Amino acid sequence: MIDVSEGQQEVFLAIAREFSVIMAKKNYGRTDIVRDESSPTTFYAVRHWASASAAEACHTDPEVSALTTRLYQMATVTHVVNGVRRAGPMRLVAPDRRARGMEPDRRSGFDRRSNDDGRDDGERRQGERRVGPRRLRGRAGAIDLVAAARRARENAHAEFSHFKVGAALQAADGSVIAGCNVENATYGLTICAERVAMFKAISEGHRAFTRIAIVADTPTLTPPCGACRQILWEFGGNLEIILANLASDEATHSLQTLLPLPFDARLL
């Protein structure tokens, strides 16, 4: 189900046509676009896969990822496979389906976060809502990645350094996967927020990423450490890196500028 931003219907249909061409050219299957008669901005994209392997190949196709990124800039998408959540990437389902008795999504907290500990009267931040695996949207097509990282920072386990960091990684399909730093008494086993977010994303089936936001409570914006830069490059390539703090300061870099001579599989 695709909820297109007002005035973007023709842009969406152009993207849908490009996707159909790729589906046919690469023998992934075919797709049908159906307009919701009750809402001029709602469409249903029905995909008929040639096989399960074709579906997986399509999800990791760079051309498809590029189209998906464009789509998420102007639409809200809810993925449903045969009426239930998909077990691999893009595992989304509308909240009302979950409320009607489907199994809870423990990762997104629907089964256990009935209130917000530490906030007066369970108050939630205005303009943010949870849908599926850490997807944050204030309005159709908009993802506040820095807000997601700030919220992730609140869960940091920093008992020794008291230096809390939050990260929010955006996958090519628009999903937002959050992470925080988790410290260990042996120090060497401590893991940074950026790596937590990336490892969570990989374990959930995501393989293509566009950007990551990193938030710490420091007057000088805190970049990822060397280990995190290597991991981000290994799995994400030349990501957009958004640095922010709690005072609304922000800066954007490309990972290539932060890691100009990376070690990767090309050298093996």
* Residues carrying an active site annotation: 194
- Tokens 């152009």 belong to residue: 14
Going by their DSSP bridges, the two strands 176-180 and 209-216 should be labelled as unpaired
Map residue 39 onto helix, strand or coil.
coil
HSE toward the beta carbon, residue 196, CA cutoff 13 A? 23
- Residue 137 dihedral angles phi and psi, to the nearest 5°: -140, 125
30, 58 Cβ separation under 8 angstroms: no
> What is the spatial distance between Cα 167 and Cα 153, in angstroms, rounded to a whole number?
7
> What is the spatial distance between Cα 155 and Cα 179, in angstroms, rounded to a whole number?
9
Closest C-alpha among 254, 253, 208, 258 to residue 229? 258
Q: Which two tokens stand for residue 184?
A: 């260990």
